[in-house]
Amino acid sequence: MRKRSVRDLDVAGKRVLVREDFNVPMQDGQIADETRITAALPTIRYLLNQGAAVILISHLGRPRGRIDPGMSLRPVAERLAELLGCPVSLAPPGAGEDVEAMARQLRPGDVLLLENVRFQPEEEANDEDFARSLARLGDLYVNDAFGSAHRAHASTEGIAHFLPSATGLLMERELTALSGALQDPRRPLAALIGGAKISSKIGVLENLLSVADEFLIGGGMANTFLLARGMEVGASLIELEAVHVAREFLEQARRQSAPVYLPVDVIVAERVAVDAETKVVPASAVAEGWRIVDIGPETVRRFGDVLRRAGTVIWNGPMGVFEIPAFSEGTRALARILAESPADVIVGGGDSVAAVEQAGLADDMAHISTGGGASLEFLEGRELPGVAALDDMEGAA
């Protein structure tokens, strides 16, 4: 059922609580990447233009219920003020009387940012009283933090039970893109799945079996699939306990006539290090002591052929040890191919998103997900607490 959107709310003259994801990387007290801040601007500007006062809620880092000045949202408040062109006040920690007083004084066009909500232990415990205290600050609640929607916390799930609620524009865009790819994709739908371990992605693979037409598997998890097909993988990362899982998936895909493409050649190294010697070998000829660190050029070519004829591509996870530049070319090469593809490309997962953004190709993809864990759980078919708690469209007043 479609969730109510912020555009369905009458926000004029109201105080609107907005859960955003300002969990930005910090370096020496400075914001190292403001992507998550700029992603939130459309919803905030929409509310201000509609005559609302906006109260922003977010976490930053993992303070584990303690006040940590190094994880203050003050740098975010200062940057938001610059981007919005208006003052952004920062509230003290918590949601007590002093914060309530600040909220009551807000007028249309004002912006207040609550201090790091995870400074309070009640946040991650989804404490009902804390959720009520947050709800008392405003008249309406908007969840725009897709990246935190898989967490049942007070500011992402609990608060929605005490106020009329809706999705923000970013949340709405995420749900529309991911739901569309799963429910009504342009065919064929190709699932390009990478990452280190099968155990972290098997839920995605199994859920996509019902909708995907073909699968392309790379990254460390492909090693276990190669092992399941009887190939030696040297000293590569594998999950011995998941070999039977890989075999079962391959058999399920065969019964459903969904081709599964694995690497046919790979980049190997004697050790996972920047200065390691590397070479290209067939996937079936990995020598003892060598480690698979990336897909090879022939695999890039074959994967590229499949991706170019796809109508929709869901991509989650890198093809190699992406953190080391010498082992990231397979991931980057597929990013370039997808950027030129006419397919609807949905990209999720930190490293695959990073590859696209670092290459300057984000604008060439249909959708870049802002939620790593949330997008993964969505693709697994799991209910996201921060979404489920929001009002359904049919229930709109």
pLDDT in tens, 104-137: 999 999 999 999 999 999 999 999 999 999 999 9
Retrieve residue 64's tokens. 């584990």
**Average pLDDT for the chain:** 95
Residue 200: pLDDT band by 50, 70, 90 thresholds? Answer: confident
What value does the mean pLDDT take over residues 169-178?
Answer: 95
What value does the mean pLDDT take over residues 186-191?
Answer: 97
What value does the mean pLDDT take over residues 352-365?
Answer: 88
151 has pLDDT over 80: yes
CA distance 158 to 153: 6
Q: Which helix (H) or strand (E) holds 390?
A: none
What value does the mean pLDDT take over residues 137-163?
Answer: 97
Residue 350: pLDDT band by 50, 70, 90 thresholds? Answer: confident
pLDDT at 126: 98
Report helix, strand or coil for 183: helix
352 has pLDDT over 90: no
CA nearest to 316, candidates 362, 372, 248: 372
On the question of a common fold for 6-169 and 177-379, the answer reads yes
Condensed to tens digits (0 to 9), the pLDDT of residues 31-76 reads 998 989 999 999 999 999 999 999 999 999 999 999 999 999 999 9
396 has pLDDT over 50: no
CA distance 230 to 238: 13
pLDDT at 355: 84
What value does the mean pLDDT take over residues 128-150?
Answer: 97
Query: Which residues of the chain form beta strands (DSSP E)?
Result: 15-19, 26-27, 30-31, 53-57, 89-90, 111-113, 140-143, 165-167, 189-193, 214-217, 260-261, 265-269, 278-282, 291-295, 312-316, 344-348, 367-368
Q: Which amino acid is at 42?
A: P
Tell me the torsion sign for CA atoms 210, 213, 371, 388.
negative
pLDDT at 371: 84
pLDDT at 226: 97
395 has pLDDT over 90: no
Which residues are annotated as catalytic?
Answer: 36, 197, 350, 373
What value does the mean pLDDT take over residues 194-219?
Answer: 93
Percent of the chain with pLDDT over 70: 99
Minimum mean pLDDT among 15-24, 103-112, 347-356: which range? Answer: 347-356
Domain boundaries, the chain: 6-169, 177-379
User: Which fold is adopted by the domain 177-379?
Assistant: Rossmann fold (3.40.50)
User: Are the beta carbons of 76 and 40 closer than 8 angstroms?
Assistant: no
Residue 365: pLDDT band by 50, 70, 90 thresholds? Answer: very high
pLDDT at 120: 98
Q: Per mean pLDDT, which of 198-207, 303-312, 322-331, 353-362 is the most reliable?
A: 303-312
Class assignment of domain 6-169?
Answer: alpha beta
What value does the mean pLDDT take over residues 196-215?
Answer: 93
pLDDT at 1: 64
